[in-house]
């Protein structure tokens, strides 16, 4: 067991961060992302010792390799984990469903948390971590001296609701989520605005998602405002989100091994990808020693990652479109100056994948550093990443060396899936599976990639990560299935969604997409929280 673990920035500027630093800061001050100083390896007996562990026990075993016990004592870590996953509806937390035994096609269902999307797996834990660290810092302090955190984010759907459900009711934390008024799906809007906890604030901004995102960036860059309210972020670059997602790769591996006891399973994981957070967790699992043949990056028509794996060039293509989720654009490049293509899998509509920087660091570290000691090589890798990110900003792209690309291809394959194919696969799986399984469009992107592997005679097990419940994305599901005998959308709708339309809601309108206006609203609502 690793007894101490610390973190460094992918841009080489700094190292020696604690886990608490990475969680509360989110981003390093040199603009880089946090990664562990070393990737822990598994205990020698993990295959047997962990094989019957519950999801929560696996989470504990894995988190313990990345978080020093001096930072979070084991008993506290256990209770944080148990609290985080008590909100899930499935006893298994992330159940593995076999779609087609003969074809060895499996689905890892990640949508049994409060908002019915995979982001809950991470954000339920992150919310509890925030609260835990703040409580500890505030112990014994008078009310007026207590540290608080103001989480601000923009959303076009999934991220916002998962963040709100992760942070609702948490002490000393206020949450402000901006969404473009009238431009997110009714279910997602109702999901967010029906949360009535006093610390949760939905701001419906007249404008586009990109306007919201730009305002959030401006707020973080506003030193005065930031210092006054201690802004926090929950976007997908937070290291704790990646960490939490490693668990289900292990969990599904054991579920598969149990189902096929006479085989040495070596599955391929197929991951519908946007900001590269979900699949990056798989990369850490692989590097730790979890047997897997490969990770498949499945993109929609916003295909910057697929183009990278084909060519070794990572390049922003300006396409006309609007309103991207995630949508982290290179520093300083405003989202609305580019726009992404709007697809049927909106949570993957991104221009640039923010977590890809972490993989780049490892590729550079392995292939492009010459220093004697590890520390020296870490610095060199950071310099390389910094240069690549500068080119992304200045020249809108960069290429990696042949050696780096080859290394990336050893661990990953990639596939690009069109909207037409997404719909086709939803139909194919519904009509072709015994259970009449209904895929959501994001999961369908992954399954489409897996079906291509089958066509290419790949015969090993494939685990496709299923990232959302189909009822959240009724538009695409209806496109695929309306008119097919036996299909009725009402049958897909979970009970939890049925009362949403008439539930009590609270939302604050912002008449214009302007930073100053949003600042006023935030400060007024914060005052209101204090006096209530």
Report the interface residues with ligand PLP, using CB under 6 A.
Answer: 117-119, 158, 236, 272-278, 326, 347-348, 442, 467-468
Q: Which is nearer to ligand PLP, 236 or 421 (CB)?
A: 236
Q: In angstroms, rounded to a whole number, what is the distance separating the alpha carbons of residues 270 and 446?
A: 6
Cα 481 to Cα 335: distance, rounded to the nearest angstrom: 34
Distance CA 296, CA 293 (A): 10
* Residue with smaller CB distance to ligand PLP, 272 or 397: 272
Minimum gap (Å) between residue 345 Cβ and ligand PLP: 7
Q: Residue 504 CB: number of other CB atoms within 10 A?
A: 7
Q: How distant is the alpha carbon of residue 512 from its chain centre? A: 29
Q: Is 483 left (phi over 0), alpha (psi -120 to 50) or beta?
A: left
CB 301, min distance to ligand PLP, A: 14
Q: Cβ 468 to ligand PLP, closest distance in Å? A: 4
Residue 77 contacts residue 56 (beta carbons within 8 Å): no
Cβ distance to ligand PLP smaller for residue 236 or 238: 236
Minimum distance from residue 110 beta carbon to ligand PLP (Å): 9
| All residues at 6 or more sequence positions from 453 whose CB lies less than 8 Å from its CB, including other chains | 268, 270, 296, 462
CB of 297 to ligand PLP, least distance (A): 9
Residue 299: strand pairing partners: 416
Is the four-CA dihedral 483, 484, 490, 492 of positive or negative sign? negative
What is the secondary structure of 162-210 as a DSSP string? HHHHHHTT-TTEEEEEEEETT-S-HHHHHHHHT---TTEEEEEESS-HH
When the beta carbons of 326 and 382 are compared against ligand PLP, the nearer one is: 326
Which residue number, 193 or 343, has a Cβ lying nearer to ligand PLP?
343
Give the span between the Cα atoms of 249 and 94, in whole angstroms.
10
Write down the least CB distance from residue 444 to ligand PLP, Å: 10
Q: How far, in whole angstroms, is CA 241 from its chain's centroid?
A: 6
Question: Could you give the residue numbers annotated as active site?
Answer: 119
Nearer of residues 476 and 510 to ligand PLP, judged by Cβ: 476
Long-range contacts formed by 99-102: CB under 8 A, 24+ apart: 99/429, 99/433, 99/437, 99/447, 99/464, 100/432, 100/433
Q: Which residues of 137-153 are buried (b: 16+ CB within 10 A; e: fewer)?
A: ebeeeeeeeeebbbbbb
220: tokens are 């973080």
CB-based burial of residue 523 (10 Å sphere; 0-12 exposed, 13-18 middle, 19+ buried)? middle
Q: Which is nearer to ligand PLP, 209 or 276 (CB)?
A: 276
Strand locations in 445-503 (E): 462-466
Q: Residue 241 or residue 367: which is nearer to ligand PLP going by CB?
A: 241
Among residues 430, 416, 419, 439, which one has the least CA distance to residue 487?
A: 430
């Amino acid at each position: 067991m690793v007894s101490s673990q610390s973190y460094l920035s992918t841009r080489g500027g700094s190292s020696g961060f604690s886990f608490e630093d990475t969680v509360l800061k989110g981003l390093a001050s040199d603009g880089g992302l946090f990664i562990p100083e070393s990737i822990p390896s598994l205990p020698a007996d993990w295959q047997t010792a962990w094989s019957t562990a519950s999801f929560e026990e696996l989470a504990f075993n894995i988190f313990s390799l990345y978080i020093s016990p001096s930072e979070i004592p084991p008993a506290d870590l256990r209770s944080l984990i148990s609290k985080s996953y008590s909100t899930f509806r499935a006893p298994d937390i992330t159940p593995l469903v076999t779609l087609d035994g003969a074809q060895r096609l499996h689905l890892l269902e990640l949508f049994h948390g409060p908002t019915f999307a995979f982001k809950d797996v991470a954000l339920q834990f992150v919310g509890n971590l925030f609260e835990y660290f703040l409580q500890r810092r505030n112990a014994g302090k008078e009310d007026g001296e207590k540290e608080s955190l103001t989480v601000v984010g923009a959303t076009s759907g999934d991220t916002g609701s998962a963040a709100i459900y992760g942070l609702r009711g948490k002490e000393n934390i206020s949450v402000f989520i901006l969404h473009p008024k009238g431009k997110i799906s009714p279910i997602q809007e109702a999901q967010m605005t029906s949360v009535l906890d006093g610390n949760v604030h939905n701001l419906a901004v007249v404008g586009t998602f990109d306007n919201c995102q730009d305002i959030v960036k401006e707020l973080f860059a506003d030193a005065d405002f930031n210092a006054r309210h201690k802004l926090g972020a929950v976007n997908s670059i937070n290291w704790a989100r990646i960490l939490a997602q490693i668990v289900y790769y292990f969990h599904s591996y054991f579920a598969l091994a149990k189902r096929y006891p006479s085989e040495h399973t070596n599955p391929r994981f197929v991951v519908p990808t946007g900001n590269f957070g979900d699949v990056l967790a798989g990369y850490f699992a692989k590097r730790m020693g979890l047997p897997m043949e490969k990770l498949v990056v499945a993109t929609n028509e916003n295909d910057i990652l697929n183009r990278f794996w084909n060519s070794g060039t990572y390049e922003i293509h300006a396409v006309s479109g609007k309103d991207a989720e995630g949508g982290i654009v290179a520093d300083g490049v405003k989202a609305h100056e580019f726009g992404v293509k709007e697809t049927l899998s909106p949570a993957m509509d991104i221009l640039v994948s923010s977590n890809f920087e972490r993989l780049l660091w490892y590729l550079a570290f392995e292939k492009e550093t010459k220093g004697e000691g590890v520390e020296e090589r870490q610095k060199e890798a950071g310099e390389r990443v910094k240069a690549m990110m500068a080119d992304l900003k200045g020249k809108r792209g960069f290429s990696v060396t042949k050696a780096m690309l080859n290394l990336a291809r050893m661990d990953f394959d990639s596939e690009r899936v069109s909207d037409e194919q997404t719909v086709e696969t939803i139909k194919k799986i519904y009509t072709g599976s015994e259970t009449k399984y209904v895929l959501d469009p994001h999961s369908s992107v992954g399954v489409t990639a897996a079906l291509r592997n089958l066509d290419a005679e790949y015969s090993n097990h494939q685990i496709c990560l299923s990232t959302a419940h189909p009822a959240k994305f009724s538009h695409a599901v209806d496109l695929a299935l309306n008119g097919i005998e036996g299909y009725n959308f009402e049958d897909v709708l979970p009970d939890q969604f049925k009362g949403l339309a008439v539930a009590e809601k609270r939302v604050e309108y912002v008449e214009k997409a302007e930073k100053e206006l949003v600042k006023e609203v935030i400060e007024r609502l914060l005052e209101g929280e204090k006096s209530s």
